Structure 1
């Protein structure tokens, strides 16, 4: 009798396991994310969106630092810095400080090219200044960005390769050698169609228009064109991500490795584009593992 019942028992167990599996997070779930107020806030420019928040763990430090850059399809419509406070709180519990960056987006005055990138430069320069006042160890720094923020943190790693003629050029930028890109849309040159379909963004909003002095608009904006840059990038993507599917991560990692950089891909089982950035998600342990791995000294 047992051998006849066994298939039914196993089938019932599978149904129960499937029913117990957490549902992938939605955009509404993401927009509802929040966290504590920061320890301090710093304006790095005069526009309302030009500021960064510092979250510190308890204890004397010095603390490793995660630079957090939110996504939202480069627009104000889909949230911003508020949602990433949930990550900052979770990282503080692990002894990691966070520099949570707000910035001008394409639908804000001065946003897009070159302003959004110049905001990243200014926010990182402000972090370097504040590291003298707060217990921050910038030798242990990782940039963590979600979606559009993934594009921006991957761009940060390539800043030393930006041509000196570019308005985005800095002679001695704060090095960003470790990157965790959560569903990042980083390769502007090769992913134009996806960026249009996923975010309704025209690529010119992110790259500016070509000119005689700058005929190739990707030369200073596209992380895929700023390789190799000596960085280590961990590309983390939900298995069910439809905004930036796993293929995007795998393609970028292959190009980075071919250029001589270090790149790894982590696929989060059963996770959506929004599970990637929520400490309350079932995917968080693997995201945290990627962040803490990036902060480990090179072997």
Structure 2
């Protein structure tokens, strides 16, 4: 299901990383997939192909997005975040006859989980965010035409300040945001899901207890702080990549939790 007949490439910008794969679905529900990789170029959107194929087979349309990682020109803060905002907003331009704008879900894995929570917060705030004191919203472009019905964080980096303190992935957060929390307080305040106000959209915060790449405690802390809108889905003895493997018991559990919130 990963050949050219399964999806079509669509661009949302002119830079090489500003594109996505549109996997047509059946009845109107669409899932946006945001891959991880600690915001580095080593991992690309093909990491999500098995998930996209499985979701398409279940009747969902899928928008599997690429974005500028922090180790290419224009990536990091704010470029990576701007790409995600525009990519999600571009769902409104994909297939207006086939996609129900009231049935959009976001699924992000690892760093993509952080980005999914961030862009959902952006939608709730009306679409604008500040970059070193300046508004980054493009006044010529309608802001946040897409409001997700549900957000799923799979082994997400839900607490950037803690991840920076722990030095996860050789200091990836410091590289992403340009320094430590004390050096870049505005960036952390806007980028970190733990710093923003609790989201009101339904959230599934999924994490395995055997994850050695992103500690389970980051998701546990985020869900506890967010409250009833964030359901913590704990996967015992599950590693970092099992949640994105459609052949795994973890994925079966995720779909059992997601389907009532976003029926295909």
Instruction: Give the TM-score taking structure 2 as reference length.
Output: 0.86
Aligned to 1:74: 39
Pair 1:274-2:245 in alignment: no
Aligned to 1:292: 259
Report if aligned partners of 1:239, 1:272 keep a CA contact under 8 Å in 2: yes
The more displaced of 102-111 and 242-251 is 242-251
Aligned partner of 2:19 among 51, 58, 61: 51
Aligned to 2:188: 218
Report if aligned partners of 2:220, 2:232 keep a CA contact under 8 Å in 1: yes
Q: Distance in 1 between matches of 2:178 and 2:46?
A: 28
In the TM superposition, residue 237 of structure 1 has moved relative to its aligned partner by 1.0
Specify the SS of the correspondent of 2:189: coil
Q: Which ranges in structure 2 are unaligned for 5 or more consecutive residues?
A: none
In the TM superposition, residue 185 of structure 1 has moved relative to its aligned partner by 0.2
Specify the SS of the correspondent of 2:32: strand
In the TM superposition, residue 202 of structure 1 has moved relative to its aligned partner by 4.3
Report if aligned partners of 1:179, 1:294 keep a CA contact under 8 Å in 2: no
Aligned residues: 251
In the TM superposition, residue 247 of structure 1 has moved relative to its aligned partner by 1.6
Q: Distance in 2 between matches of 1:122 and 1:65?
A: 16
Aligned to 1:3: none
Q: Distance in 2 between matches of 1:167 and 1:62?
A: 37
Q: Which ranges in structure 1 are unaligned for 5 or more consecutive residues?
A: 1-33
Aligned to 1:264: 231
In the TM superposition, residue 68 of structure 1 has moved relative to its aligned partner by 0.1
* Alignment deviations for residues 163-195 of structure 1 (CA, whole Å, 9 cap, x no partner): 45555447731213411100000221233223x
Instruction: Give the TM-score taking structure 1 as reference length.
Output: 0.76
Give runs of aligned pairs for residues 143-182 of structure 1, distance below 5 A. 143-159=106-122, 160-161=124-125, 163=129, 166-169=134-137, 172-173=143-144, 174-182=146-154
Aligned partner of 1:124 among 88, 100, 115: 88
Q: Which is greater in Rg?
A: 1
Aligned to 2:51: 87
Specify the SS of the correspondent of 1:220: helix
Aligned to 2:221: 251
